[in-house]
Structure formats: structure tokens, C-alpha cells
Amino acid sequence: MMIVMRADATQEDVQSVLACVEELGLTPHISQGVERTVIGVVGDSRNVHLDQVLRQPGVDRIVPITRPYKLASREFNALDSVFQVGGIAVGAGNVIIIAGPCAVEDRFQLLETAHAVRQAGAHLLRGGAFKPRTSPYAFQGMGEEGLELLAEARQATGMPIVTEVMEPEKVQLVSQYADVLQIGARNMQNYALLHAAGASQRPVLLKRGMSATVEELLMAAEYILSHDNRRVILCERGIRTFETATRNTTDINAIPVLKAQTHLPVFLDPSHSTGYWEYVSAIALAGIAAGADGLMVEVHVHPQRALSDGMQSLKPERFAHLVSQIAALCSALGRRMAPPEQIPTPPSERLEWST
């Protein structure tokens, strides 16, 4: 880090900072400008209490030089991370599509949607059993019953399951059913949950908080990685800005920025990042064009009957069209979608689920 002194700092102030830096076990390095003195600090300052330096008299501000995350950084791992999720390689340049309903609502809705998205070309099935809702009066999810339906859908379609976990003490339960633990935007800095998800050694899909910077997202990933759990997928899902024409503002820039700064796979959720199904396909394509490793798309067989987020859910036909467009776009840009063969064959005969 560099310590920038005020223009009116005295020699005494500078000496005091030098002493403080040395006391912290680091090596200071003076750079004398015309107007100001800057003190470079050599050594690993990640664990250092910067505040101790910041409050020294004469200090204007501190400029970090190294990034605060380590395990998540490209410098730590120059090559893209690749790992298996229920038999499917994520991050290998394979474009992966996660699809399914916002919430598990009932057996029929889930199984019908699961078959439809698998048919259309999706690789993983999403569906929420525990739902974070702004209002305590809104539908909060089916809970464990929902998890059982998800397991049934995996059985029926072969698709690995992605589902959200909202509390540390539910990590074990959800892990019994889910192939990928999803940590939602509201919980991106729920550190107890990040620790528990890290310790579970399950793959984790970590959504960016709606006001989190890219750096904070990487720091949250660092919590999981610090448990030596390397299977972390980052997911941009829109940030909060002044614009109200859409539910959130898709930070499409975050895709190439993340690809430059981290080796972890980067996904986009165009459903939450727009909030309106009319815009989902355009933004899904934009995400892939920008370099995303995958998408997470809400699909519902009957969006107008959805208990949540129906407004942003695609119908299966439209989703199928989107998948074919993504495949064409991948070819045009020299990339490819993960081949359907990667999806495991259903371990059992197709269950009877039709109404």
C-alpha cells in the first residue's frame, strides 16, 4: 500500500508514520513529491490494521496496491478453473445453462418445467425451496418438501439441481438434495452462511449482492475458497441503480471484468437482472457475447400462475428458442455449449408424473 501524506504534514508526522509501519513488521519507502510525501509500504499488508496508520497525524489517505482477495484472483491461478457439477464440466469454455422455476410450487409444475427445460437444452435445474422475500406476508417457499420434489425431478430428468440455502444451519439439509448450493444476493455478505457453504465442500453458486462491488463479490468468494472449497460459480444478477425501467441494472461490464480478475466461472442471471421476460432473451444473449460461462434463467410452464417472479419467467417455447440462439451465437464466436450428452441419464425409468 501507499500512504499519501497531507500537503501540510510535518517531518515529525512522516517520522511517526515510518515508525508505525515498522512496528507493524513492514518496510516503509519514502517518495518525496513537490507538494506531498508518499510512503510506500513493502510487505504483506492484508492482515494489517490500516486504521492504525490512517489515524496518524498528517496522513491524507491510504492507497491499496495489491488486491484484498487472493485465492479468487487470476494472479493466484492464471488458468480458468474447471470443475464437475453432477457430471457436467463447468468453466471449461463450455457454456452451461441453468433453468427452472423461481420457486418450487408443486410437483406438477416442477416436473413439467424440468422436462421442458431439459428438452430445450438446459443442463442444470434450478428451483427455490426456501425463498427470501421482502415481505413476511409473501410465499416463503415449500421448504424440505420442495427439496424432495427437486430430488424427484433430478431422478426423472438426470439434471443436477441448483437450489438456494439461506441459513447456516440449513446447509447440511440442503446439501442432501442439492448438487449446487445457491447463495442469494441478499446473503452475499452473510458470513456465517459463506463459512458453512465453504465447509460443506459442495459446489456453490454465489450471487452478487445488489449493491456489492466486483471486489466485494470476490471477497465473499474468498470466504468459501478459504475452506479449500474450490467449486465456486460467480453470478451477476443486476445491481441497484437510479434506473427504474427495469428491476435491476444488469452490470454487463462485470462479465469481462470478472473474467480478467478471477479464474472462477462467471454466470449471468438475466431474469433477475432485468425483471421482465420481454428483455430476458436480449440480455441472455448479451451475457454470452460478453463472455459469460453460463446463464441462469427462470422458466415456468404457466408464468401467469407463478407464485413469485412470474413477470420475469420465460415460457418453455421461448426458452427453447433462446437456447437455439445461444448455440448459434456460441458457434459464431468460436465457443460452444456444453453438449447434452454431459447431462447424466436419469438413473431410473421416467417416473409417472403427468396429471
Contacts of its own copies in 204-223 (CB under 8 A): 209-211, 213-216, 219, 222-223
Q: Count residues contacting its own copies (CB under 8 A)? A: 107
Binder among 257, 335, 346, 351 for its own copies (CB under 8 A): 257
Binder among 10, 172, 201, 331 for its own copies (CB under 8 A): 331
Contacts of its own copies in 118-147 (CB under 8 A): 132-139
CB of 47 to its own copies, least distance (A): 5
Let me know the angle formed at the C-alpha of 255 by 250 and 256, rounded to the nearest 5 degrees.
135
d(C-alpha 117, C-alpha 105), whole Å: 16
Q: Which is nearer to its own copies, 127 or 160 (CB)?
A: 127
- Residue 239 binds its own copies, judged by CB under 8 A: yes
- Whether 163 and 179 have beta carbons less than 8 Å apart is answered as no
Only one of the segments 82-90, 108-116, 240-248, 337-345 lies at the binding site for its own copies (rule: CB under 8 A); that segment is: 240-248
Q: Which is nearer to its own copies, 97 or 166 (CB)?
A: 166
- Residue 19 binds its own copies, judged by CB under 8 A: no
89: cell is: 464440466
CA nearest 103: which of 80, 77, 131, 137? 131
- Whether 240 and 248 have beta carbons less than 8 Å apart is answered as yes
**How long, in residues, is the chain?**
355
Place of cell 480458468: 80
Is residue 352 classed exposed, middle or buried when 0-12, 13-18 and 19+ CB atoms within 10 A define those classes? exposed
Spell out a b/e string for 142-156, using b for 16 or more CB atoms within 10 Å of the CB, else e.
Answer: beeebbebbebbbbb
- Residue 52 binds its own copies, judged by CB under 8 A: yes
Contacts of its own copies in 272-311 (CB under 8 A): 273-274, 278-279, 282-283, 285-291, 303-311
CB of 205 to its own copies, least distance (A): 18
Only one of the segments 82-90, 154-162, 163-171, 344-352 lies at the binding site for its own copies (rule: CB under 8 A); that segment is: 163-171
CB of 89 to its own copies, least distance (A): 22
- Residue 253 binds its own copies, judged by CB under 8 A: yes
Binder among 109, 190, 262, 271 for its own copies (CB under 8 A): 190
Is residue 67 classed exposed, middle or buried when 0-12, 13-18 and 19+ CB atoms within 10 A define those classes? middle
Residue 167: CB partners within 8 Å, gap ≥ 6?
A: 193
For residues 53 to 72, the per-residue mask of contacts with its own copies, x marking binding by CB under 8 A and - elsewhere, is: -xxx------x-xx-xx---
CB of 168 to its own copies, least distance (A): 6
d(C-alpha 89, C-alpha 85), whole Å: 6
d(C-alpha 142, C-alpha 348), whole Å: 25
CB of 346 to its own copies, least distance (A): 31
